[in-house]
Amino acid sequence: MIYLDHNATTPVDERVLQVMLPFFSRFYANPSSLYKLARLSRSAIDTAREQVAQLVNARPEQVIFTSGGTEANNLALKACLPKAKAITSAFEHPSVLQSLHNPELAVITKQGYIDPQSIIQFAQQFDLASFMLVNNETGVIQDIPSLSAIMKQQGTIVHTDAVQAAGKIPVDFQAMGVDLMSLSSHKMYGPKGCGALIASPEHINNPLLTGGGQEAGLRAGTENVPAIVGFGKAAELAHAELEQRHQHCLKLRTRLENQLHKIPGVTVFALDSERVANTVQFGVQNCVGEMLLMQLDKRGIAVSSGSACATSNWSASHVLNSMGIEEDLARSAIRVSLGQGNTEQEIDCFVQELMQIL
């Protein structure tokens, strides 16, 4: 199989797996207990907290471990200011859109950017704002520091979903000027079932999970020690190898886009926008994305469609709809998201198979 869906999930790095394994068997104690075996688990969590904090330039005490990016988004938006007057964008992850109470939606440009003018006129009206750092479909990078500065002038609390950004581009929690940031382990070659909310404790007024003192009382429940340890190692590796990973994916993306440009009817979305190096979303005139996805799957190639299936009807991507992309073209969308294991030969094979299908 040729795997080209790394924005959905990444394989666990072998180096990550190796540091996790002892915590399934040898170091199995509950980290909240007091004896030595338990203290070893607690120490491992503390190390992971430092590793995640270093990746995004935060303080270790600001790292709250969760079950993933979805829980981190829910914790940020529901536990901070429940039912606050909020603003976000139409292309956010559903865990953001469904966690806010009747939010105002900022305008999205055809290039995939949040229009800052559309939030300036409303800035003074909101208690809470949530803007995605990197879009999971188009890969477009938002200017979060500028958007945050607009909202901060009015005292708004600002959250950013950085799940698709961390490990792909430099992410600086302090420099962005945000109050809350969501992360996920399995987007950076770590295990599934682990994420983090970066936040100062004073912003979490109503924790979602209560009944224990874990995570400074902000997220109750016995910690998933192996996953947290794996997340920490994945963050450490992402920090150390950031530029190397970027250059590898950029080389592959350039090769892919050069070949896609030669295929009649292909449109690469947000082509001229600033994007993470691993993501290409494109549409093909007179095609349906799910059909292309299934045909490619039969040929051993895994990609995602920009569309979602609702009951028996295909619906266009809400991301592309927010950008004003024409409906039929939006329904034809395919997303290729590259990773460290991909090769130039796989890119060539993908394009050849796509051309045969078309």
Mean pLDDT score of the chain: 94
Domain count for the chain: 2
What pLDDT is attached to residue 309? 37
What pLDDT is attached to residue 312? 43
Q: Do 22 and 106 have their domain in common?
A: yes
Task: Note whether 65 and 219 are within 8 A (CB).
Answer: yes
Task: Note whether 187 and 60 are within 8 A (CB).
Answer: no
What pLDDT is attached to residue 310? 36
**Nearest CA among 210, 211, 227 for reference residue 21:** 227
Q: Do 170 and 285 have their domain in common?
A: no
Instruction: Tell me which of 188, 211, 240 is where a domain ends.
Output: 240
**CATH number of the domain where residue 293 is located:** 3.90.1150.10
Task: Note whether 40 and 26 are within 8 A (CB).
Answer: no
Task: Note whether 336 and 138 are within 8 A (CB).
Answer: no
Q: Do 83 and 125 have their domain in common?
A: yes
Instruction: Tell me which of 202, 225, 240 is where a domain ends.
Output: 240
pLDDT tens digits, one per residue of 172-217: 999 999 999 999 999 999 999 999 999 988 888 889 999 999 999 9
Share of the chain above pLDDT 90, in %: 89
Q: Do 331 and 346 have their domain in common?
A: yes
Q: Do 32 and 175 have their domain in common?
A: yes
Q: Do 263 and 224 have their domain in common?
A: no
Instruction: Tell me which of 216, 240, 264 is where a domain ends.
Output: 240
Residues in contact with 101: Cβ distance below 8 Å, sequence separation at least 6, in sequence order: 82, 83, 84, 86
The torsion angles phi and psi of 66, rounded to 5 degrees, stand at: -130, -175
CB-based burial label for 343 (10 Å; 0-12, 13-18, 19+): exposed
Q: Do 198 and 263 have their domain in common?
A: no
Q: Do 226 and 272 have their domain in common?
A: no
Residues in contact with 25: Cβ distance below 8 Å, sequence separation at least 6, in sequence order: none
- What are the tokens at 131? 């803007």
Positive or negative torsion for Cα 106, 112, 113, 115: negative
User: Per the residue annotation, which of 194, 287, 309, 349 is the catalytic one?
Assistant: 309
pLDDT tens digits, one per residue of 282-320: 999 999 999 999 999 999 999 998 544 333 455 788 999
Residue 140's identity, in one-letter code, is: V
Sole residue written with tokens 């003018």: 117
Assign 79 to helix, strand or coil: helix
Q: Do 58 and 129 have their domain in common?
A: yes
Q: Do 96 and 163 have their domain in common?
A: yes
pLDDT tens digits, one per residue of 60-105: 999 999 999 999 999 999 988 877 899 999 999 999 999 999 999 9
The mean per-residue pLDDT over the stretch 323-335 comes to 94
Q: Do 264 and 219 have their domain in common?
A: no
- What are the tokens at 65? 């471990």
**CATH number of the domain where residue 169 is located:** 3.40.640.10
Residue 338: pLDDT over 50: yes
309 tagged catalytic: yes
Q: Does residue 166 form part of some domain? A: yes
Residue 48: pLDDT over 70: yes
What pLDDT is attached to residue 252? 98
pLDDT tens digits, one per residue of 17-26: 999 999 999 9
Can you give the residue range of the structural domain that contains 298?
2-8+242-353
The mean per-residue pLDDT over the stretch 105-123 comes to 90
Task: Note whether 185 and 227 are within 8 A (CB).
Answer: yes
pLDDT interval class at 123 (50, 70, 90): low
Residue 30: pLDDT over 90: yes
Task: Note whether 96 and 73 are within 8 A (CB).
Answer: yes
3-state secondary structure the chain: CEECECCCCCCCCHHHHHHHCHHHHCCCCCCCCCCHHHHHHHHHHHHHHHHHHHHCCCCHHHEEEECCHHHHHHHHHHHCCCCCCEEEECCCCHHHHCCCCCCEEECECCCCCECHHHHHCCHHHCCEEECCCECCCCCEECCHHHHHHHHHCCCCEEEEECCCCECCECCCHHHHCCCEEEEEHHHCCCCCCCEEEEECHHHCCCCCCCCCCCHHHCCCCCCCHHHHHHHHHHHHHHHHCHHHHHHHHHHHHHHHHHHHCCCCCEEECCCCCCECCCEEEEEECCCCHHHHHHHHHHCCEECEECCEEECCEEECCHHHHHCCCCHHHHHCCEEEECCCCCCHHHHHHHHHHHHHHC
Q: Does residue 358 form part of some domain? A: no
Residues in contact with 170: Cβ distance below 8 Å, sequence separation at least 6, in sequence order: 242
Q: Do 175 and 28 have their domain in common?
A: yes
